[in-house]
Structure 1
Amino acid sequence: MQLNPFMSPIAKFIRSNTGPMSEYTLLKHLNFSDDDLKLPSESSGDLALFRKHFLVMNALYQLQPIFHDEGYYLVISALKIEIIPHTVSGATDNIQQDLIQQTADDKIKAYYLDWNEFTQSDPKSVEQLLNSFWQRYYAADEEQSAFSILGLKTDAEWPLIRSTYQKLAAIHHPDKGGDSETFISIREAYEQLACLKRID
């Protein structure tokens, strides 16, 4: 595994700060040179930002076992980076939840520990990553909106979604004196959830 030059400054910064911090805080603290980022001659700001992000996450994942050997958990996410002593008596539910979530993110860890992801990144691949992120973001936003239109919680099961839709459609159908715009929004919400859940 290639040694990341930002491991030492990141470890020092984490040790000198008490409490959680964000990835953005780390990015502001570090000085990245063109040599560190190894940018191609034709590159975008998105590629530079991606490579900074990658270097930080790679360093954090390489530091995780080192902190573990020193008696600390290193919690890693874009919004929260924190070291927690193993000896914390009665670890809070939040700490335990963070650690459980991290264990579930082994694919993310493997991604950031693979230097090929850094060296092979280019403006096109970063643009594809960003587009993929925004597609997932908008899909989640549309799903939440669809649940809201139907008056349901986001954890509603498909049978409840279908029965709620049928009741609302019967009430708001224009042929039964309902408002056509309301009916259309209910129908679109139902279709959106059916599509997201791949159900006809």
Structure 2
Amino acid sequence: MNNKHETLLQLLTEILHSFQPAFRDGISEFELISKLKAKPFCLFDEDALREPLVLFQTHFVLFHALYILREEWRQQKVGELTISALKIKLETFIDQDAALVQADPLADYYLDWQNLSKTDEAGVEDLLNQFWQKMGGMKANKEPTLEEINVALEHMQLEAIEGLQLDELKRQYRKLQHMYHPDKGGTAEQAQIILAAYTTLHSVIYNSTK
């Protein structure tokens, strides 16, 4: 996986954090992908659930990010994320001795990136590149307008997109999410607006580095 792919995965993992309430209620993989296809995220293309190979790629990348998130939430004692196609659910955290934790072949499979790259058809490299472009929301008809960029900058309390780096954007995003998180006196709507602005600016910066 190259640096750009890692950047998109980081964005996906960041966005999945915002689904914690939905995970507590339980959500299917289909419902989750459908939400990630829609605004404000637009992470997956309309074909994400249609073509067999693209469907597998979408499924693998999503589950890879979910297993990363599961480990993060385990370490933070947020809860135990159970992961399956039928239901993804955040259960109450139960502290376990590491020596007693059972082997998890599915987690091992999805966390091994080679299992995606070697599941191929003819011309898989081109298909994978197309997939990453779709995941990044980089089609011309999805490029944010100047007005949308300016609104996003305002919500993110940033002055200009020129010279803005992804690391700086991410730091500002985490700062604002901390300030406006419902647990800190903010609202879910404010947190969602910030996430939407972050996603918009992220796509602009990513697109400019192609």
Per the normalisation by structure 2, the TM-score is 0.42
Larger radius of gyration: 1
> Relative contact order (alpha carbons < 8 A, sep ≥ 6): 1 or 2 greater?
2
Per the normalisation by structure 1, the TM-score is 0.44
